[in-house]
Structure 1
Amino acid sequence: MSLPPGVAADRVEEIDVGLSGARVARLYVAGRPTAVFKSADAGRRDLVAELVGTERRLRLLAGTRLPVPRLLDSGRWRGSYWLTMEHLPGRGAHEPRHDRAELIALLARALRDLHAVPAAGLPLPMGPDVLLEQARERVASGAVDRGWRAQGHTPRVPGGNGRRASGAAEVLAALADRLERIPVSGPVLLHGDYCLPNVLVDGEGGWSLIDLGRVGVGDRHLDLADMTGSMLSDLNPSFGPRDAEAFLDAYGRDLVDPGLLELYRVLDDFFWPE
């Protein structure tokens, strides 16, 4: 992988973890990881928008005490948009070698700490209306067609005599009908993609957050749905339903609406890349 002028590295280690579609690499100087490099072809407007959004959010989050990467540089080069961020220590929560009980407690504590950050005034709306509009755009563009992956866990069709929705457009319409009538829980500062690989654990009780392109202000159930969905995903086979339930217990059941949690899990399906 070639790097833009001014981005220094003795060694470049490409990273293939993640589903965003952007090119990602870890940069080393004097044998030590110092930065993370991300880039996307200018023709992929969705990926470029994600990187631009990440840059904006890192600048805003710099004013908080959250353990997130520091933005180092960004720009355009050879038909691509790129940025570099500070490399943070730790292993992804999805990796082995973590004590399970301690990890679950840490993930819940980290999310409570994130949700406790004052969100008033942050220009990052991520409420149901914003998410539903983004999902509609993805359906209209043909980016969502699972036939339906969440079959059996989808909302019932309004006026459909109990029939469950099928097909992306009908699922989304049923989901919108439900979500648009439910008050936002919070609102709180959200990670927006709070899944196992996006939480780094340092082994000494410390944690940090990465992949911050969807940080926003909205309903806490979005983050709760992301993490429990990550624990139930085939991508993380060492986790399962017991871990998801233990995570919700540790976060605080008094803050969790099971029905709303399931709706946000379905909504999350609209943002997975094909």
Structure 2
Amino acid sequence: MSLPPGVTADRVEEIDVGLSGARVARLYVSGRAVAVFKAAGTDRPDLVSELAATERRLRRLVGTPLPVPRLLDSGEWRGERWLTMEHRPGRAAHEPGHERSALIAALARALRELHATSLSGPPFPLGPDVLLERARERVASGLVDRSWRAAGHRPREGGNAAGALRGLAERLSRTEVSGPVLLHGDYCLPNVLVDDDGRWSLIDLGRMGVGDRHLDLVDMTGSMLSDLNPSFGPRDAEAFLDAYGRDRIDPERVELYRELDAFFWPV
């Protein structure tokens, strides 16, 4: 893998997870992983936008107590937008080798600490209005109906995605935001690194914003129930909610945000 001038490494390990369609690699110096490199072609504005969003959020997180990657450098080179970030220790939560109860405790602790963190300056809004607008764009493009047909999903309201979204939007309009709190925005198993001592780090922060805590709760429990993570299941999802704190969770809001999440399934 070629790297921009000034980005050096003794060894480059390409990674096939993360931003779909982007170049992602782990960079080693003297046998130690020191950085993560991500790049996307400028002919893919969606991926370039995701990289730019990650850069903005990492800059804003400087000075907070959250264990997140430090932005090292960024730029454009040979028709690509790229950035390098500090490599964080630990293994992704979905990887084998974690003691399950300790892992779930770490995932819940990480989310509570994230939700208790304040950012200086204007927030990155991630409330229901923002999410519903994105969902409307996906419905209008036909992506949602195609993804639902592929999954055999039948909405509980309306015969199609547009009808289902109208009903969901009406119910969300009557529901107060819980918080609002700082959200990861994609709080799934691969985006939390945990080491053998239970220390955690958060990665892939391009969707971070301020909104309802139940969005992150739905993302993590959905990740635990996904076919992509067959070693996890309903017992783990319930244990995670217990560890986060049932007193902070409204089951009706969990259901609302779970329905909203269905509008963002991949095609």
Same fold per superposition (TM over 0.5) = yes
> Any conservation in 2 of the 1:146–1:168 contact (CA below 8 Å)?
no
SS of corresponding position for 2:147: coil
SS of corresponding position for 1:111: helix
Residue equivalent to 1:151: 153
Residue equivalent to 1:252: 245
Alpha carbons of 1:177 and 1:21: their partners in 2 closer, same or farther (altered >3 Å)?
Answer: farther
Query: What does 1:1-274 align with in structure 2 at a 5 Å threshold?
Result: 1-18=1-18, 20-119=20-119, 121-144=121-144, 145-148=146-149, 149=151, 151=153, 154=155, 156=156, 164-274=157-267
One-letter code aligned to 2:207: R
Shift of 1:195: 0.3
Distance (whole Å) between structure 2 residues aligned to residue 170 and residue 224 of structure 1: 25
Shift of 1:223: 0.2
Shift of 1:178: 1.5
Distance (whole Å) between structure 1 residues aligned to residue 119 and residue 71 of structure 2: 21
Shift of 1:84: 0.6
SS of corresponding position for 1:118: coil
> Any conservation in 1 of the 2:18–2:24 contact (CA below 8 Å)?
no
> Any conservation in 2 of the 1:19–1:273 contact (CA below 8 Å)?
no
| Runs of 4+ residues over 4 Å off in structure 1 | none
Distance (whole Å) between structure 2 residues aligned to residue 239 and residue 59 of structure 1: 34
Distance (whole Å) between structure 1 residues aligned to residue 72 and residue 142 of structure 2: 35
One-letter code aligned to 2:93: A
Once the two structures are superposed, residues 174-217 of structure 1 have per-residue CA deviations (whole angstroms, 9 ceiling, x without a partner) of 22122122110000000000000100001112000000000000
Shift of 1:271: 2.8
Q: Larger helix proportion, structure 1 or 2?
A: 2
What are the ranges of 5 or more consecutive residues in structure 1 without an aligned counterpart?
157-163
> Any conservation in 1 of the 2:147–2:265 contact (CA below 8 Å)?
no
Shift of 1:225: 0.3
Distance (whole Å) between structure 2 residues aligned to residue 225 and residue 42 of structure 1: 32
Shift of 1:259: 1.9
One-letter code aligned to 1:245: E
Distance (whole Å) between structure 2 residues aligned to residue 236 and residue 90 of structure 1: 18
Shift of 1:78: 1.2
Shift of 1:35: 0.5
What are the ranges of 5 or more consecutive residues in structure 2 without an aligned counterpart?
none
Distance (whole Å) between structure 2 residues aligned to residue 214 and residue 25 of structure 1: 20
Distance (whole Å) between structure 2 residues aligned to residue 184 and residue 150 of structure 1: 31
Shift of 1:55: 0.2
Distance (whole Å) between structure 2 residues aligned to residue 74 and residue 272 of structure 1: 30
Once the two structures are superposed, residues 117-167 of structure 1 have per-residue CA deviations (whole angstroms, 9 ceiling, x without a partner) of 124744211100011111222232344322354735x4x4xxxxxxx3343
One-letter code aligned to 1:59: R
Alpha carbons of 1:24 and 1:63: their partners in 2 closer, same or farther (altered >3 Å)?
Answer: same
Distance (whole Å) between structure 1 residues aligned to residue 139 and residue 39 of structure 2: 25
> Any conservation in 2 of the 1:119–1:217 contact (CA below 8 Å)?
no
Shift of 1:171: 2.5
> Any conservation in 2 of the 1:38–1:83 contact (CA below 8 Å)?
yes
One-letter code aligned to 1:223: D
> Any conservation in 2 of the 1:151–1:166 contact (CA below 8 Å)?
no
SS of corresponding position for 2:178: coil
Residue equivalent to 1:160: none
- Identify which range, 54-63 or 3-12, moves more after superposition: 3-12
Distance (whole Å) between structure 1 residues aligned to residue 21 and residue 159 of structure 2: 27
> Any conservation in 2 of the 1:147–1:167 contact (CA below 8 Å)?
no
Distance (whole Å) between structure 1 residues aligned to residue 169 and residue 20 of structure 2: 25
Once the two structures are superposed, residues 37-61 of structure 1 have per-residue CA deviations (whole angstroms, 9 ceiling, x without a partner) of 1111111111111110000000001
Once the two structures are superposed, residues 232-269 of structure 1 have per-residue CA deviations (whole angstroms, 9 ceiling, x without a partner) of 00000000001001100111111111121122122223
